[in-house]
C-alpha cells in the first residue's frame, strides 16, 4: 500500500537512500499516488484532508517522471513507472474478463480515472545480479 506519500519528502528520501546504500543488489517496488496536480488529484487531497489525513509527501507524486526522478536521485541505478490504468490495459484480455466478472463495474470511467492516479514504480541496483534482463513496460 501507499507508504512514502505519508512521509515528508526528506523522510522518504532518507529511506530510499538507506535502502539503496545498504544493498549492493536490490529492487525497490512502490505503489503510490500520481498525477496529483490535476483536478481529480486535488479533490482526492481535499477529501483526505477533511478526514485529517495529510499526504505529507504529495509533492513527489506530481507525475510518473517525478516518481522516477525521486528514485534516481536517491541512489537507485534504474527507475521505471507506469500508471495502474496502463498496467491494467496491458493485461491479457482473458484476465481482464476474469477480473471484471468478479464484480460488476457500472462506473468504468470512474475506475479509469482513479487508476490513472495510482502508479507502480520500480528501481534497481546491481540489476545484472538480480537475474532479470531488464524490467520494461
Residue-wise DSSP of 2-31: --GGGS-HHHHHHHHHHHHHH-SSEEEEEE
**pLDDT score of 127:** 72
Alpha helices in 24-122 (DSSP H): 39-50, 64-73, 84-89, 93-102, 108-115
pLDDT digits over 75-87, tens only? 999 999 999 999 9
What does the pLDDT read at residue 136? 56
Which structural domains are found in the chain, ordered by start? 4-125 (3.40.50.150)
pLDDT band at 41 (very low <50, low <70, confident <90, very high): very high
Across the chain, what does the average pLDDT equal? 90
pTM: 0.85
Amino acid at each position: 500500500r501507499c507508504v512514502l506519500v505519508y512521509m515528508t519528502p526528506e523522510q522518504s528520501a532518507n529511506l530510499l537512500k538507506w535502502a539503496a546504500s545498504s544493498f549492493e543488489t536490490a529492487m525497490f517496488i512502490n505503489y503510490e499516488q500520481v498525477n496529483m496536480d490535476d483536478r481529480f488529484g486535488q479533490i482526492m487531497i481535499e477529501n483526505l484532508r477533511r478526514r485529517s489525513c495529510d499526504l505529507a509527501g504529495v509533492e513527489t507524486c506530481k507525475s510518473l517522471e517525478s516518481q522516477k526522478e525521486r528514485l534516481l536521485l536517491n541512489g537507485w541505478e534504474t527507475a521505471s513507472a507506469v500508471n495502474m490504468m496502463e498496467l491494467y490495459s496491458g493485461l491479457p484480455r482473458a484476465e481482464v474478463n476474469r477480473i471484471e466478472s468478479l464484480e460488476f463495474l457500472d462506473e468504468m470511467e470512474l475506475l479509469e480515472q482513479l487508476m490513472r492516479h495510482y502508479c507502480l514504480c520500480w528501481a534497481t541496483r546491481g540489476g545484472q545480479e538480480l537475474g532479470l534482463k531488464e524490467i520494461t513496460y
